[in-house]
Amino acid sequence: MHDTGTVSSSAPAPDLGELPAAAHEDAAPHGSDKHARRFGLPVATCLVMGNIIGGGIFLLPASVAPFGTISLVAFAVLTAGAICLALVFGRLASRDPRTGGPYVYARAAFGDFAGFLAAWSYWITTWVSNAALAVAAVGYLDVLIPVADHKWTACLAALTLQLLPALANLAGTRYVGAVQLVATVLKFLPLLLVAFGGLFFFDSANLGPFRAGDESPVGAVSASAAILLFSYLGVESAAVSAGEVRDPRRNVGRATVLGTLGAAVVYLLGTLAVFGTVAHDKLVASTAPFTDAVNAMFGGSWGGTAVALAALVSMVGALNGWTLLSAQTPYAAARDGLFPSAFARKRRGVPTVGVLVTVVLASLLTVYNYTAGSAGVFEVLVLVTTFTATVPYLLATAAQIYFLASGQGDRVHRGRLVRDAVLAALAFGFSMWLVAGAGYAAVYQGVLFLFVGVLVYAWMAARKQRTATR
C-alpha cells in the first residue's frame, strides 16, 4: 500500500484507488439505503465530544478539590496531551480513512498480530464500559424515578438504558447520528450554563488554597492527574468510525480536534466554575458538586434534579456512541480474517452482529453486577478497561512514529516531518502516562486479558491460513 523510499515533499496522499480492497466498501457511498447515512463534520464532532464526556464530569470537581486549584494545572497539561493525540489520529486517518482506527494503523505498521491486539483490547474496553455506564446512569435515574430501592428494578433499568441506544444503532447510522447530535446538545446546554453562568457568580474566596495537600507542586499535579487521566478516553471515536464519515481524510482530523477542544472547554470552565461557586471545604466533602453549584448560583433545591437529568442524557449519548464503536473495530478486523466473519456483516451502515454481541455481553455483565453485589468481578473488569483503553493508543502512536521514521512517501510530507514527529512523540508519552495512571493492578489484570486474546488470535490466524491454502 505504501512505498519505503525517500521522503518527498510533493508526495501526494493516496487516492481511493490506492487503498487495499477492504477499504473500498468504507470509501464508497452507502447507496440508496435511506437508513444509512454518513456522518458530516458536526455529527462526527458530537461523536467525539459525546464519547469523551460521559457522567464522570459531574463528580470531577469534588474528586480533585482535595489537591487545591493546582489540579487545574494538571487539567491543562492533560488537555495538551489529548490534543496531541487527537492531531496524530487526524494525520493517521487522513492517510488511511478506513473504519477501525487504531486497529487499521497498528496492522498497517506492524502486521496482523499488533492489529489484533489493538482490536481485541479496544473491543473489551467498549462493552465493559457500556455496562459500567449503564449501572452508573441508574444512580442518576433514581433521582428522577425511584428505581434503586429494589435490586432487580435497578437491573432492569440498567438493561433498558443499554437497549435503547442499541436499537438506535440497529436502525441505521442515520439514527445513530441523530441521537448523538440531540444528546450532545441537550447535555452540553446545562453544562455550559454552569461553566459560563458560574463565572458571574464566581467568588475567589471559595477557591481555597492553590496547593491544599502536603505534596510538592509536581507531586500534587501528578496526583490530581492520576484521577483526571481518563477524562479524555474517546478521543479516537471519529477515527474508529472513519468509514462512516463523509470525506474522512479531512473531517476525521477536524472532528477529533474540535471534539477534544470542545470537551476540554467544558471540563476546564465547568471545574473552574464549581471551584468558584462552592466553598472549598464544602466541595471537598461534596457528592454532587454540580448540584451544589447550581443551588448556589440560582438558589432553591432543584439543582439535584436538573443535574441528574443532564447526567442521564450525557450517559445515554455516550452509550449510543460507544455502542457504535464497539462494533466498528471488530468489523474491520473481521474483514481481514482476524475476528469471526459474522462481525463483518453490515446492515443500514451498522455492523449489526457487533452491536448485538456487545449488548449481550454488557447485559450479562450488568446482571452479574446486581447478582454479585458491589464487590466482585465487575469492579475488577472496569479497572481493567483503564488499561485496555490505552493499548490501542500506544500502538497507533507507535505506528505513526514507524511511518515517519521509515520515510514512507505516501505518509510523510517533508515540510510536516518535524511537526508530526514531535506530535507523535508527545502523544506516545501521553499514552504511556495513561498506562502508568491506571495503576499496577489494572496493568496486571489487563495483561492477562491480552494474553487470552493471544489464544483467540492463534485460532483465527490458523483458520485464515487454512482458508488461504485451500
pLDDT of residue 412: 52
Kindly tell me if the per-residue pLDDT of 332 is higher than 70.
yes
Q: What pLDDT does residue 324 have?
A: 83
Mean pLDDT, the chain, whole residue set = 79
Is 60 exceeded by the pLDDT of residue 9? Answer: no
If one compares 230 and 351, the residue with the highest pLDDT of the two is: 351
* CA angle (198 as vertex; 192, 199 as ends), nearest 5: 105
DSSP string, 160-206: HHHHHHHHHHHH-HHHHHHHHHHHHHHHHHHHHHHHHHGGGG--GGG
Assess whether pLDDT exceeds 80 at residue 124.
Answer: yes
**Pick from 335, 465, 398, 393: which is nearest to 110 by CA?**
398
pLDDT at 31: 45
In 3-state terms, the chain is what percent helix, strand and coil (to 5)?
75, 0, 20
Q: Does domain 26-462 have CATH number 1.20.1740.10?
A: yes
Contact 98, 22 (CB under 8 A): yes
Amino acid at the residue 375: A
Alpha-carbon distance 63 to 282, whole Å? 12
Mean pLDDT of 460-468: 82
pLDDT of residue 1: 39
For residue 350, the cross-strand partners are 347
- Closest by CA position to 387, among listed 456, 454, 450: 450
Using the 8-state DSSP alphabet, how is residue 18 labeled? G
Cell 494538571, residue located: 74
pLDDT tens, residue by residue, 260-271: 998 888 888 888
Residue 120: is its pLDDT beyond 90? yes
3-state secondary structure of 36: coil
- Classify the phi-psi angles of 64: left when phi > 0, otherwise alpha if psi is within -120 to 50, otherwise beta: alpha
Question: What would the mean pLDDT of 296-324 be, rounded to a whole number?
Answer: 79
**Which of 113-117, 285-289, 339-343 has the least mean pLDDT?**
285-289
Given a cut of 80, is residue 27 above it in pLDDT? Answer: no
Buried/exposed 331-355: b ≥16 CB within 10 Å, e otherwise: bbbbbbbbbbeebbebebbbbbbbb
- Domain locations along the chain: 26-462
Instruction: Give the residue among 124, 134, 176, 179 at the shortest CA–CA distance from 155.
Output: 134
- Residue bearing the bigger pLDDT, 53 or 102: 102
Q: Higher pLDDT residue, 83 or 9? A: 83
- Sequence-distant (6+) residues with CB within 8 A of 27 are 16, 19, 97, 98, 243
- Most confident among 21-35, 227-241, 320-334, 367-381 (mean pLDDT): 320-334
Most confident stretch, 220-234, 266-280, 323-337, 391-405: 391-405
What is the phi/psi pair of residue 350, to 5°? -120, 135
What is the pLDDT averaged over residues 337-359? 86
Region 205-214: mean pLDDT is: 76
* 10 has pLDDT over 70: no
CB atoms within 10 A of CB 435: 19
Residues 425 and 250: their CA atoms lie apart, in Å, by 23
Q: What angle do CA 33, 34, 39 make, to 5 degrees?
A: 95
Q: Quick one: pLDDT band at residue 377, thresholds 50, 70, 90?
A: low
Report the pLDDT value the prediction gives residue 53, as an integer from 0 to 100: 82
Tell me the torsion sign for CA atoms 291, 294, 296, 298: negative
Residue 20 has pLDDT above 50, yes or no: no
Q: What is the pLDDT of residue 415?
A: 63
